[in-house]
A = this chain, B = another copy of it.
Amino acid sequence: MFTKEEYLTRMNQTKQKMMEYGVEVLLISNPSNMYYLTGYNAWSFYVHQILVVMIDEEQPIWIGREMDAHSAKVTTWLDENHIIPYPDEFVQSTIRHPMDFVANILTEIGQGNRKIGLEMDAFYFTGMCYERITQGLPNAEFRNFSTLVNWVRLIKSDTEIECMKKAAKILENAMHAAFYTADVGMRENDVAAAIYQAQISGTKEFGGDYTSIVPMIPTSENTASPHLTWTDRRYKHGDYLTIEIAGCYRRYHTPMARTMAIGKAPDKVKDLAKVVVEGIETTMDTIKPGMTAEEVESVWSKTIAKRGYFKESRLGYSIGLSFPPDWGEHTVSFRKGDRTIMQPNMTFHLMPGIWLDNYGVEITESIRITENGCETFANVPRELYIKEPSQISHMTSPKEQTGS
Residues of chain B within 8 A (CB-CB) of A129 are 121, 127
Picked from B190, B317, B325, the residue with its CB within 8 Å of the CB of A207 is B190
Query: Nearest B residue to A150 by beta-carbon distance?
Result: B92
| Highest count of chain B CB atoms <10 Å: which of A88, A203, A213 | A88
- B207 near A200 with CB under 8 A, answer no
* A-B residue pairs, 7 tightest by C-beta: A207-B232, A189-B207, A127-B130, A46-B326, A121-B128, A193-B200, A196-B196
Kindly state the separation between the CA atoms of A7 and B124 in the bound complex, as whole angstroms.
28
The tally of residues in A whose CB lies under 8 Å from a CB in B reads 92
Binds B, one of A15-23, A172-180, A367-375: A172-180
Copies in the complex: 2
CA distance A173 to B188 in the complex (A): 19
The chain B residue sitting closest to A130, CB to CB, is B127
Q: For residue A230, which residues in chain B have a CB less than 8 angstroms away from its CB?
A: 207
Partner-contacting stretch, out of A64-72, A287-295, A341-349:
A64-72
Name, among A74, A121, A200, A222, the residue most crowded by chain B CB atoms within 10 Å (CB to CB): A200
Check B313 against A88 for contact (C-beta < 8 Å): yes
User: Which residues of A are at the interface with B, using a C-beta cutoff of 8 A?
Assistant: 41-46, 66-68, 70-71, 74-75, 87-89, 91-92, 97, 118, 120-131, 144, 146, 173, 176-177, 180-181, 187-190, 192-194, 196-204, 206-210, 213-214, 216, 222, 224-232, 312-314, 317, 324-326, 328, 330, 333, 335, 355, 397-402, 404
* Alpha-carbon separation in the docked complex, A206 to B233 (Å): 9
Given contacts A71-B227, A194-B404, A313-B66, contact A206 B177 (CB under 8 A): no
Residues of B within 8 A of A74 (CB): 222, 225, 228
B68, B192, B200: the one contacting A192 at CB < 8 Å is: B200
**B residues less than 8 Å from A181 (CB atoms):** 404
Closest to A45 in B: B325
A208 closest partner in B (C-beta) = B189
**Given A46-B213, A200-B196, are A70 and B208 neighbors across the interface (CB < 8 Å)?**
no
Query: A157 to chain B: closest CB distance in Å?
Result: 21
